[in-house]
Amino acid sequence: MIDEKRLIILTQSAKYDVSCSSSGSRRQNVPGGLGNAAFGGICHSFTSDGRCVSLLKILLSNKCAYDCQYCVNRRSNDVPRASASPEEICELVAEFYKRNYIEGLFLSSAVEISPDRTMELLLDTVIRLRKLYRFNGYIHLKGIPNADPLLIQRAGAYVDRMSFNIELPSERSLKLLAPQKSKNAIVKPMRLLSSADFKENARGRGAGKFLPAGQTTQMIVGASPETDGQILRLSQGLYDAFSLKRVYYSAYIAVNPQSRYLPAKSANLLREHRLYQADWLLRFYGFTAEEIVREDGFLDEEYDPKCAWAVRHMENFPVEVNTAPVEMLVRVPGIGIRSAYRIREARRRTRLTFDDLKKMRVVLKRAKHFITADGKFFGEENFGRMKTLLALQETNENAEQLSFLTGNEIEKSVITGEI
């Protein structure tokens, strides 16, 4: 069984990967308090059917042969090193599962010796888990770029989800900050995982269905100079090309203050939060990256991206809720996808008023500035005052969403959802 010292090193080293939903939290325990969200080890993720599962989040090894500037596990960093054998990880998963600590595994690794060697060990681990330990829980495996495609294909037949991190928003930044990696080496396995032939040929190579929970990726934000527009265009391209389930955005954490290529300070978490909101608009609301960002290529900090777009395009408003197409209703701040469809259903039967909208859970304090209902307008007619009201609401809502206070610093939690 793995000893406690190595377990701490390997779980702590994995905590910077945000591809699990709870990983963004940095709330620490306080004297007399209970729990510590900043500590590595267990994280949460959502399965394809929407269930939230707790996962053991661990690296097989943090002994990295690569030297990515932004990474705590980089070769040149003087940190305690450890690795575990596939058997040790399997024992740990089985023990934790039996004790009801976890429902699944998030397994990643630094590149120990070579990509192929590391991928072989990861594959060995998941095969043992499925075949010897008969473990049927959720497994999310981080793939190793440049590893042999056959190893990746076999792994895909044993795990629920796999991800290759795109890491940085441009090839130029990748070359500068992660010189041993290349865009091609990262994109190639993503393309393979999304190809029907690759999936088909994987049949018989493993235990079950090929990647039932699909693939995701992660991008570091704020370590390099790309704009939000560049980041969102890249995400849009990845969603379109590889049918990704999610792109995760990870605000850069200054773990390497000596580097002359990196910002001295960690990136603003509000930027990460706005990118998640914008990503939601790309995937579900029919927006394009070009529409969402400002002229300078960045997202507004003051308002959420949908509200910011609406404020910049008041020529489209107000819209009459009884006649506007659904594609326009979902662009109204305060009307989400579900509300838009509820409105469309309800107006077939009756002419909707503001009271009806209230019952449909439309966020009227926001939406009222952008709609009429049965010809009536209850919003603020003065544009300047309306913007102030919206900004105040945004500040109050953000305050409610604040996950914690750290010293004098107020940090914002990463949330996603209908906006």
Nearest residue to 390 via CA among 298, 303, 299 = 303
Residue 89 sits at the vertex; the CA angle it makes with 106 and 99, to the nearest 5 degrees, is 80
- Span 54-83, contacts to ligand SF4 by CB under 6 A: 64, 66, 68, 71, 73-74
Count of residues binding ligand SF4 (CB under 6 A)? 9
DSSP state of 101: S
Beta carbon nearer to ligand SF4, 60 or 202: 60
CB nearer ligand SF4, residue 74 or residue 368: 74
Question: 104: burial class by Cβ within 10 Å (0-12, 13-18, 19+)?
Answer: buried
Q: What is the distance of C-alpha 132 from the center of its chain?
A: 32
**How is residue 151 annotated by DSSP?**
H
Which residues within the stretch 237-256 sit at the binding site for ligand SF4 (CB under 6 A)?
A: none
Closer residue to ligand SF4, CB minimum distance, 110 or 340: 110
Distance CA 302, CA 394 (A): 7
Structure tokens at 158: 């044993």
Specify the residue, 142 or 306, whose C-beta has the smaller distance to ligand SF4: 142
What is the token pair recorded at 107?
Answer: 């397994």
Q: Environment class of residue 80 by beta-carbon count within 10 Å: exposed (0-12), middle (13-18) or buried (19+)?
A: exposed
CB 107, min distance to ligand SF4, A: 13
Q: How far is the CB of 242 from ligand SF4 (least distance, A)?
A: 20
Sheet holding 52-59, edge to edge: 42-46, 52-59, 104-108, 138-142, 161-163, 215-221, 246-251
Please state the closest distance from residue 142 (CB atom) to ligand SF4, in A: 9
Least CB distance to ligand SF4 at residue 39 (A):
20
Task: Pick the closer one to ligand SF4 by CB: 102 or 110.
Answer: 110
Shortest spacing between CB 70 and ligand SF4, in angstroms: 7
Minimum distance, C-beta of residue 353 to ligand SF4, in the bound complex (Å)? 55
Q: b vs e for 14-53, b when ≥16 Cβ sit within 10 Å of the residue's Cβ? A: bbbbbbbbbbbbbbeeeeeeeeebeebbbbbbebeeeeeb
Kindly state the smallest distance separating residue 64's Cβ from ligand SF4, in Å: 3
d(CA 26, CA 16) in angstroms, rounded, equals 10
Nearer to ligand SF4, 127 or 178 (CB): 178
| Phi, psi angle pair for 272, to nearest 5° | -60, -45
Question: Could you tell me the smallest distance in angstroms from the CB atom of residue 267 to ligand SF4?
Answer: 17
Nearer Cβ to ligand SF4, position 220 or 234? 220
Give the shortest CB-384-to-ligand SF4 separation in angstroms. 47
Residue 202 — φ and ψ, nearest 5°? -75, -15
Q: Please report, for residues 64, 170, 174, 192, 218, the alpha-carbon distance to residue 184 in angstroms, rounded to integers and kept in the order given.
A: 20, 12, 11, 12, 16
**Residues from 92 through 121 that contact ligand SF4 (CB under 6 A):** 110-111
Measure the CA–CA gap between 75 and 70, rounded to whole angstroms.
11
Nearer to ligand SF4, 109 or 236 (CB): 109
At closest approach, how far in Å is the CB of 14 from ligand SF4?
Answer: 10
Site string for ligand SF4, 1-30 (x = CB under 6 A): ------------------------------
**Interface with ligand SF4 in residues 168-227 (CB under 6 A):** 178
Query: Shortest Cβ distance from residue 74 to ligand SF4 (Å)?
Result: 4
Q: Rank residues 108 and 215 by Cβ distance to ligand SF4 and give the closer one.
A: 108
Of 221 and 278, CB closest to ligand SF4: 221
**Between 22 and 77, CB nearer to ligand SF4:** 77
Tokens for 289, please give them. Answer: 């990256």
Region label for 52, one of left (φ > 0), alpha (ψ between -120 and 50) or beta (otherwise):
beta
- Give residues in contact with ligand SF4 (CB under 6 A): 64, 66, 68, 71, 73-74, 110-111, 178
